[in-house]
Amino acid sequence: MTVLSLVQHHPIPPVTSRAATGPRPAAPRPHPERLGLFETIRALRKNPITAFPEEAYQAPILEVGRLRSVVLVNDPDEIEHVLVGNAGNYRKSVQQRRRLQPALGDGLLTAEGASWQAARRIAAPLFNPKSIALLFDDMQEAAAVMRDRWLDRTAPGRPLDLAAEFQRLTYEIVSRTVFSGALDQDRVRVHANMAIYFETFGRIDLASLFNLPAWVPSPAALRARPALAVFRSIVDRVVAQRVDDPDRGMSDLLDRLMRSPDPATGKIMTPVAVSDNVLTFLAAGHETTGNALAWILYLLALFPDVETAVTDELLSVVGDRPSRREALDNLVFTRAVVNEALRLYPPAPFMGREALGCDDLAGRRIEKGTQVLISP
């Protein structure tokens, strides 16, 4: 069974072929000139990357805002300056907070300043290579369950929606490794309500375009509110059960997150902070990882020679089932394929920052309040 036979064609854009260069992976063709205001708004709501002109793919920095000051930064040194060198001058953008904070609270993706630093000091050791190695068996078992489900389908000839399958896989991995399976029974409810969340807050709305205050009740916020309440209540329930069981050991990531002290202060996370960060792992983690896996297999389906090379490397390095996580480090070509897929189809295609003070980027003066957009 080839990868292509598993792909459900409906959710993935059609591919056009060019005889001289072979298949062209799904991608918008940049506009020669900038779109007008209303065309830009329409494009941003449908698919944001279709709004950019050719110049956006070439200029080191480009003014892209129509309704306020927004610059797209492409130069690698300037991106490092914004995210690392002068990070104190740039906070997460209001658009990013508007989309993520209602669901994730002050988790790692949304927190700022001291609360972000404290959460990162506690969470970072949980995701170092040694800690991740402890989760290897759970990940492998979840993948085996998915494989068996595929092989046991009653209608094996029908297309399979890989995006949905991989989101289910990554959800089950999060459920196993973070919650010791406590969320298995809630998978259908979480997926249904998370779909509503991403369909509403995941799209650019007029409230974001016009930079309205976060407290303004947009249609997206009103529609997503019941969905947010559902998966917030599910996670809060599990966290509360752990709080009521102080003698429980360190059997999963949730236990370790709740009981690991901040190396700098010795304090542990509050239950609210734990819920915020666990929701970040659940909502932002499994959806994006599932999408990444689907795009990787989509690209392999377009290029059978690369698919063959990946398959050969997997069989020669790890065989049918890797016995040790360290064996994966030897998958040099496969890792390159994964990195290229992430370059072409990053699960988080935009990062937004807001300048807290004046700065200079690529020879351009950045005023306080300027929105800085970075697109992998």
225-278 confidence digits (pLDDT tens): 888 888 788 888 888 888 888 777 777 888 888 888 999 899 998 988 888 888
CB distance 264 to 118 below 8 Å: yes
Average pLDDT over residues 299-327: 89
Q: List, as one string, the DSSP characters of 17-79.
A: EETTTEEE-S-PPPBSS---HHHHHHHHHH-GGGG-BGGGGT-SEEE--SSS-EEEE--HHHH
Q: Are residues 104 and 136 in the same domain?
A: yes
Q: What is the pLDDT of residues 171-181, one digit of tens each?
A: 899 888 888 88
Q: Are residues 270 and 308 in the same domain?
A: no
Six token digits for residue 270: 């509050």
Q: What is the pLDDT of residues 103-139, one digit of tens each?
A: 777 888 888 888 888 888 998 888 888 888 888 889 9
Instruction: Please give the span between the terminal C-alpha atoms of the chain, in angstroms, as a whole number.
Output: 33
Residue 325 domain flag: yes
Residue 150 domain flag: yes
Q: Which residue would you say has higher pLDDT here, 8 or 197?
A: 197
CB distance 103 to 283 below 8 Å: yes
Q: Are residues 272 and 326 in the same domain?
A: no
Q: Are residues 264 and 229 in the same domain?
A: yes
Residue 269 domain flag: yes
Q: Are residues 119 and 231 in the same domain?
A: yes
Q: Which residue would you say has higher pLDDT here, 65 or 359?
A: 359
Residue 190 domain flag: yes
Q: Are residues 288 and 308 in the same domain?
A: no
Residue 36 domain flag: no
Residue 327 has what DSSP assignment? G
Q: How many CB atoms lie within 10 A of CB 173?
A: 22
Name residues whose C-beta falls within 8 Å of residue 161's C-beta, 6 or more positions apart in sequence. Answer: 8, 10, 11
Last residue of a domain, one of 249, 278, 295: 295
Q: Are residues 309 and 219 in the same domain?
A: no
Q: Are residues 170 and 309 in the same domain?
A: no
Distance separating alpha carbons of residues 168 and 287, to the nearest angstrom: 9
User: pLDDT-derived band of residue 207, with 50, 70 and 90 as boundaries?
Assistant: low
Amino acid at 294: A
Amino acid at 166: F
Domain residues for the domain of 326 are 303-349
Q: Are residues 264 and 333 in the same domain?
A: no
CATH number at 261 reads 1.10.630.10
Residue 338 domain flag: yes
β-bridge partners, 19: none
Residue 363 has what DSSP assignment? T
Q: What is the pLDDT of residues 139-171, one digit of tens each?
A: 999 999 999 999 988 787 888 899 889 989 998
Q: What is the pLDDT of residues 366-375, one digit of tens each?
A: 999 999 999 9
* This model's pTM is above 0.85: no
Q: Are residues 326 and 251 in the same domain?
A: no
Q: How many CB atoms lie within 10 A of CB 238?
A: 19
Q: How many domains does the chain have?
A: 2
Last residue of a domain, one of 295, 328, 362: 295
Six token digits for residue 301: 């389906």
Residue 282 has what DSSP assignment? I
User: pLDDT-derived band of residue 206, with 50, 70 and 90 as boundaries?
Assistant: low
Residue 38 domain flag: no
pLDDT value of residue 217: 67
For residue 212, pLDDT over 70 is answered with no
Q: Are residues 136 and 207 in the same domain?
A: yes
Residue 218 domain flag: yes
Identify the weakest region by mean pLDDT among 217-226, 246-255, 297-306, 329-338.
217-226
Three-state DSSP at 371 gives: strand
Distance separating alpha carbons of residues 351 and 349, to the nearest angstrom: 7
For residue 7, pLDDT over 50 is answered with no
Q: Are residues 203 and 136 in the same domain?
A: yes
pLDDT value of residue 20: 47
Q: What angle do CA 189, 195, 200 make, to 5 degrees?
A: 130
